[in-house]
Amino acid sequence: MGKNIFKMFAVVFVLLSVNDNTEGAFLIPFFICLVFCGIPLFFLETAVGQFTGQGTLHVWEVCPIFKGVGVGMLISMTIFCIYYNVIMAWSLYYIASSFAVPLPWTSCNNEWNSEYCTDDRSTLNLTSQVLQGINSTNSTPNWITAQEEFWQESVLGMSSGIEEIGTINWKLMLCLLGAWVVVGLCIIKGVKSLGKVVYVTATIPYILLTVILVRGLTLDGSIDGIKVYLSPDFSKLLELQVWLEAAIQVFYSLGPGWGPLFTMASFNKFNNNCLRDSVLLSLAGEGTSLYSGFIIFTVLGFMSTSFSLPIDKLVKSGPGLGFIVYPEALAQLPGQNVWAFIFFVMLLTVGLDSQFAYCEAVIVACTDKFKKLRKRRILFVVAFCIANFLLGLIMVTQGGIYVFQLVDWYVAAFSPAVFGLIECIVFGWIYGFDRFSKDVHLMLGRGIPMFFRICICFITPAILLGLFVYSLTSYKPPSYGSYEYPLLAAGFGTFLSVLPLIPIPICAVGIVLHAPGDTLKDKIATALKPTPKWKPVSKELQDSYYDSDSESSRSLIETIKLNVMGRT
């Protein structure tokens, strides 16, 4: 299970710390959010999936009134699958380009280059100094690096904005098609065949990362880059934005609040030690992010020394670190084609791990809901991949990067935090965490430790509520570089962010209306109780499974004590 949900796309992790000049300060709130929010939610979702043997849609039999959360997670995962594979397409494009000699992003002699292209970043440094001088004039050229122009003109073929979608870049379209072919072939047989593939995709990145790190440490200025990475500016800890981005990164890297953890854990053996796995996998996954940070900052330190520029001036917003700055750094090394190939293969394998998990979660949810699809899984997987490929075509047009940035900006804006908060409320208070601890005891032979009880009942929901409120109050429309999105695009993005939340009230109303009971109060009470489908997946325990606390009533103080302390 763990290999399937490993999400090691550490570029996002490092990009956050560089873009906001937080460097080491980002690590502190990141690990606090990891310990008190990420790991507890990771354990909660894996324990629920393992206990019931059910996927994202059906685990909500524990509290039917919130079945809409499962539907909302399905929507979020589907959107994620569509746009995330575009990153795989970019990686394939760069992998193919890595075979050209010299590397196409190292010179300004290509058909896509403009007269202001430069292959010497020191030109940009000189331009910046001139512009800051008293006697600067408007005649100063607007230089652009060869790497950035390759990204904008060759890979993306960027238009002036989202208003100008333009034509499809056929080379990038073929890369997107190739990415979906790879994903489809790997998931077509289900989890058993997928597990064999993930042995490769989860191992290769570590080997390649280590190779790059060893090479990076031999470069001039690499140690300076590491010092920047590990030197926190504690004043940044007073900025809520740093804490917000740390919490968002935890959701991105571990996957709680999205849904695939339920599905992946449902394939575990009933007595698998999911508590141990949750802690170890969380620490290993985030340790990989930290490890990747060392690797990237060694190269950024080298570039900073080479071009006499501070590190924060080397990185722009968006996917600039992975597809502009790092290719530029690799181009400075002997054997540049080999290092470029290794780096982008690493990016591809890292991204595929995540894509496998989310696609499989969507497919399992659909085949569980519509049983007839199980017999036609191969056809359904093919149809799913074709549909997602077609929907993703808009992101490989000239205006595609603006669409990608818009979706990426809004898809995780609110819903994962809301879903995680509801999980804490349902299992912590409505179902009762002590009752859930009894369920875990059936699997592990022990209840849930007090630390996880306190986190799920109090600390984690407080963090998630704060994250949600701050996201609402600090909202600002997206941008791509200097480009500002029009109101219509921002409005569509806002709709995209609340779309996964819409099924929650709709399904709740439907469940309550069809629930047994003479009064509305009785119907709501019934809708809050587990259905007969909430039971352990182990057939040996199903007949004897009975929750003696389901009808008991306790005071609030007694409930709190029981949830935190358990039975003494």
Query: Which residues, other chains included, contact 319 with Cβ-Cβ below 8 Å and sequence gap of 6+?
Result: 11, 15, 87, 90
Is the pLDDT at 314 greater than 60? The verdict is: yes
Is the pLDDT at 445 greater than 70? The verdict is: yes
CA distance 497 to 515: 30
* Residue with more model confidence, 198 or 167: 167
| 122 marked as part of a ligand binding site | no
Q: How confident is the model at residue 543 (pLDDT cuts 50, 70, 90)?
A: confident
Q: What is the mean pLDDT of residues 313-319?
A: 59
User: Which residue ranges form the domains of the chain, and what is each CATH number?
Assistant: 2-107+151-511 (1.20.1740)
Q: What is the pLDDT of residues 478-535, one digit of tens each?
A: 888 788 999 999 999 999 999 999 999 999 999 999 999 889 999 999 999 999 999 9
pLDDT at res. 386: 97
Backbone angles phi, psi at 431, to 5 degrees: -75, -35
pLDDT at res. 166: 94
List, in sequence order, every residue forming a beta bridge with 317; answer none if it has no partner: none
Query: Which residues, other chains included, contact 333 with Cβ-Cβ below 8 Å and sequence gap of 6+?
Result: 215, 219, 339
| 253 marked as part of a ligand binding site | yes
Is the pLDDT at 12 greater than 70? The verdict is: no
pLDDT at res. 123: 58
Please tell me what DSSP assigns to residue 153: I
Is the pLDDT at 2 greater than 60? The verdict is: no
Q: What is the pLDDT of residues 367-416, one digit of tens each?
A: 988 888 888 999 999 999 999 999 999 999 999 999 999 998 888 778 88
Q: What is the mean pLDDT of residues 539-545?
A: 84
pLDDT at res. 330: 77
* Residue with more model confidence, 491 or 557: 491
* Residue with more model confidence, 248 or 472: 472
Specify the pTM. 0.88
| 354 marked as part of a ligand binding site | yes
Q: How confident is the model at residue 75 (pLDDT cuts 50, 70, 90)?
A: very high
Q: How far is CA 295 from CA 11, 318, 480, in A?
A: 11, 20, 26
CA distance 428 to 434: 8
Is the pLDDT at 424 greater than 60? The verdict is: yes
